[in-house]
Chain A
């Protein structure tokens, strides 16, 4: 199987979808000649031309609004929001328009729009360029939300997003772009609502998303040296959520840790914990642990940034608390 970086996998997914279907196009800030601020869309302009690889003005509301209009008119647009912090500027369009049109038109309109965005700390981008806002969007009925953690997952989920008739917000993480991983020779679409068991274990289940999947893997290796067998499950899509697999895993291990880079308070992990306590109550042998960022804006200063965001050691400490060692 070929090996791609996460960045290359996103690019390959976009390119394959554009080759297969003329109604797919991409627009966003600096995505054409510059290839995007993270270099994800490099080369697409050369292959597909300025009609289908479009730079936009610096207006997130306009970018998403134009995408919604094109989607309702029969296209399958991909729009890029350079930093997920800037999603806040486009929320009126995402929350009040994209998520609502199919419902309010009684199914006469569909909005097959893919909104790609990226964020995340770990490179000192400061308080306005590193937030993790997935919890804002999983709260909105009418939206689907994906947060892939590997090259294979991002390519397969991007394909499914583009071909879904509903608006999808797909989160990428800045630090995942250089991560390498094997991908299938032929692109394999990954269905929404199917979690993936990243690592099998028997003592505790870590439900992790995005970069925390990788940090949980590091924590699991350390825990193994202490005789703690850790299972890691990546939901991959936050909405829809594969509750069945998460609950089955926790029923097996009797302990759970939920981990994400977003702040813990009101985070996606809170919803997962609620689902688990309700559906696996009689199987829990310890309180569900949550791992996430501390409840504070992110600092520029690297030492302070590192203090705020969760690391493998934080996941490991949570694992230890669940098993009482």
Chain B
């Protein structure tokens, strides 16, 4: 008799939960205590361990919200039959035409490319299926270019290169994608940010020496991947220590000024924007910043952050340079008073001593909460950041 896996009550007052991902496939062996699936709570995603040992026979709720106590899977002996799941997933509409199986033919004959889906079955190579699984691509949305319309590896790779391929969207229908908790949180906080009166300041910094420093630091720390973001985090922390009036938060009855520079790094994680924090950056070496930043960014991408990773930030850096964005305005990350938007470093002709030279220039745009910081203070801070970026030795 198969055991039913029911949606657990993980805390007081929890009425329902959202299953986001299964860590086991149907047919996999499961040990008692082994992580089985992930459930979305308000802030972080949590792994849930199996209460049973056996084989995962059937996943009844692949993803989505369910009330506490609903059966979401069955675990039992291999081959055991389970009762029909309470919420069967919708089957694709069967197609009337019967397609003969040509795969057994000794010499494949050339045939016009056929749609990959026939009788609900997707014709795809094992490699293509594995790549799609690894990259989270629904293989049924792809069009096969292999023999007989088979989906092959290059089709999956093509889908990866063009994620917005129109073929992936069923024509005519508006898709309704349920809000994840993280998406709701992003919406709530950024709407709040819009209520703060802000101003923006922009400078351009010559990255020649900063790039040299990053290159040298990489040589000295071959095991650590040091990036421009790490240098900017360090430089901003030093500048914040000299401009304590920027390292603040506005509250209804007081201005809070912080002793440490806790730098938040905006990360485009698969589940959405998230801003984990590196603490006390003013006390860390460049390599230490890189290690700490690598850790939280990696865990953000793997959806493994804890609530503490997201707390106590005093300043945020958002870098879109890797997308080739040269300049942009970041939205405040409340309750912090400032956020720095970092663009791409671009080789640019500049006038130096009456001659034109090519220099790597970086554009930095600071968004400031005017309730907490005035224009001159913000400008003075940004000038210090520019000075430190152009001549990092001055940050000592």
Contact = CB atoms under 8 A, between A and B. Distances in A.
A287 B127 contact: no
B376 interface: no
A282 B127 contact: yes
Interface stretch (B57-65, B146-154, B269-277, B356-364): B146-154
Contacts of B106: 264
A284 B106 CA distance: 18
Contacts, number: 32
B127 A283 contact: yes
Interface string B135-163: 00000000001110000110000000000
Given A324-B145, A324-B147, A286 B125 contact: yes
A285 B127 contact: yes
A166 interface: no
B126 A282 contact: yes
Contacts of A264: 106
B127 A254 contact: yes
A81 B127 CA distance: 45
A264 B147 CA distance: 22
Interface string B152-196: 110000000000000000000000000000000000000000000
A282 B130 contact: yes
A321 interface: yes
Contact of A286 (B129, B130, B145, B152): B152
Contacts of B129: 282
A273 to B, nearest CB: 13
A123 to B, nearest CB: 27
A324 B146 contact: yes
A107 to B, nearest CB: 39
B351 interface: no
A103 interface: no
Contacts of A284: 125-127
B108 A321 contact: yes
A94 B151 CA distance: 48
Interface residues of B, number: 14
A281 B130 CA distance: 10
Interface in B109-141: 125-130
Contact of B153 (A285, A287, A321): A285
Interface in A268-325: 281-287, 321, 324
Nearest to B133: A282
Interface centre among A264, A281, A286, A321 (most CB of B within 10 A): A286
Contact of A285 (B103, B108, B128): B128
B152 A285 contact: yes
A282 B153 CA distance: 11
A254 B153 contact: yes
A283 B106 CA distance: 22
Contacts of B152: 285-286, 324
A285 B127 CA distance: 5
Contacts of B126: 281-285
Contacts of A283: 126-127, 130
B145 A287 contact: no
Contacts of A285: 125-128, 146, 152-153
A234 B152 CA distance: 27
Contacts of B127: 254, 282-285
Contacts of A281: 126
Contacts of B125: 284-286
Contacts of B103: 287
A254 B106 CA distance: 20
Contacts of A282: 126-127, 129-130
Interface centre among B106, B127, B128, B147 (most CB of A within 10 A): B127
Contacts of B130: 282-283
Interface string A235-266: 00000000000000000001000000000100
Nearest to B145: A324
A287 B150 CA distance: 11
A249 to B, nearest CB: 15
Contacts of A321: 108, 147
A286 B108 contact: no
Nearest to B155: A285
A147 B147 CA distance: 34
A254 B129 CA distance: 13
Interface of A: 254, 264, 281-287, 321, 324
5 contacts: A283-B130, A285-B126, A286-B125, A287-B103, A324-B152
Given A283-B127, A285-B128, 10 more contacts: A254-B153, A282-B126, A282-B127, A282-B129, A285-B126, A285-B127, A285-B146, A287-B103, A324-B146, A324-B147
